[in-house]
Structure 1
Amino acid sequence: MSTFNYHIDTQPLAEEMGNVSKNVNLTTGAVVAMQAAVVAAEERASDLVCDNVNRGFYSLIRSQISQKLAKYKSEYESKRMLLSHQKRALVSIKTIMERDYNMISKRYTKLFNGLNSNLQTRVFEVDKPMIDFSYRDIGRMTNRSKYLTAVVPLTQLESVASSQKIVASNIKQRGLNAINSIKAFILEMHNQESLAKKILVDDIVTRNSEAYLPVALCEFENDSLGNRVTEFFAPGESLHQAAVTSISNALHSEFHNTPQNQDLYSRQEVRNEFLKLISDSKKPARVRDVAIELFNSGLPQREKS
């Protein structure tokens, strides 16, 4: 079997592979540099876009805020002018009201001062009899014990003894009068108690019997036309409601069947006498007119005519 030996030179291939490796490394470096440049460019572009977006957003917000500020400022100015006008109007009204109040207060102060003086004079005239009585009689009544004490024209020891006896006698007489008054009062109370015991009955009624009950009759006029209202008041605390109703019905029927005559002549006579007294009095005309008006307001309409 034959043997073949081959000698292959790999140097050119190695050199070519070295060149290829260098080119690949250069290409890799170029790609990396290009990628870094692209990333940097993208970052710059994104930053620029963000800056533009932020600037636009801030500009928009600022524009809106400026518009709202302008709107609110315009409203504020208009309302401020309105409030200023209203303030001037209120100040003018206040000045007018103060002037009117001072004028009215002065008028009524003068009126009430006159009324106070008039009333003071009238009160003094009303109280004058009591004041005169107090000045004239109160002192004498207060010192009645002194005035009741007897004085004898004696001297020295006899005078003292006699005065003491007279004072003691006077005191005994007054004490006796007081005792007699107390005795009379006690006797009167005893008589009243005995009479009440005779009138009041504590027994319970167990059969039909006749009894007398007090009844109050009240008749009054409730308007100016002279319409009369009649009311009955019977003791109903110890009676049954049916009995009270029967008593009220019987009283109404009996009272309305009784003829009622109004004494118009006596009322007219009273009215004439009152008018005569008013005309003869020395009171002011205003007081007399008010008195006549009050008197007429209490009369029925048919009597005024």
Structure 2
Amino acid sequence: MASYIDCVVDTNPMAQEISTVSNHIKGTTTAVVAMQTAVVLAEQKAADHVCDNVNKGFYTLIRSQISQKIAKLQSEVDSHLMHLNQQRKQLLSVKSRMEHDYNMISGRYLKLFNGLNQNLKQRVLELDRPMIDFAVKEVEKVSNRTKYLAATVPVSQLESLAASQKIIASNVKFRGLKLINSMSNFLADMSEQKKLTDRILVEKVNAVENSILFIPVLISECNFDKYGNEDIDVAVNNVQLSQQAQAVVKNAVNHHIENLQWQPVKEIDKEVRSEFSKLLSSANTSQRVKEMANKLFMANSFQTMKPP
């Protein structure tokens, strides 16, 4: 027969330990929640940073591609414009040459046909000289007998004296009118001949010669924002070059500017140093500012492009 032993067990230590474990679990839970919150914030910041960099890179890439396309299209437009201007000059030269040839050929044939007309007229007149002389000379003399005899002294009655004087005055006026018309026709012919001669004897068109010119170009590179984006500026001489020539040179430099490489310079060029000293001495600033500018200039490092 089984027997039972009654014993009293104290559970307070185990309860205290369980209570301690419960407190540690609560602290762990709080730490896990805080860590999860921190992880979520870190992931959000990382995602925002990645998105900002991706957007910045995308916009920079699009801007660079658009700038390259603009430069390329501008270069093509300027090239076509120069080609069209060259063709226009050639067409004007051909037009001038054709006008010169036309005037020369027309003058030559005009002289030839005038000579042929004169020779034919002379031959026709020689076919029947007596009849021509009678029709041209004698009949005209008979018809104009009163006009040719108007200068003779009128011997008539007093009644017809006034009429005779009027005839003489009319004859003098008619001959004066013929003289004036002859002079006018002569002057008009001389003016027309001068205009025709000026059109024929044009000046020789200066021949266009191709030559090579060395043009200095200033290329400056700088950072225009805090992200390190670079801005490149090209400066060309604007004294001896036209606006079109300057645009062509700038487009050509922008087209090949990616292939250019910079190299550091050991010492400042003497001409650059001399020009800077002249500008510094002529500046209307204090001596302290000039010394600081000279100090910064001497401490600065330069880079030049490597020769191709």
Larger radius of gyration: 1
Compare relative contact order (CA 8 Å, sep 6+) and give the higher one, 1 or 2. 2
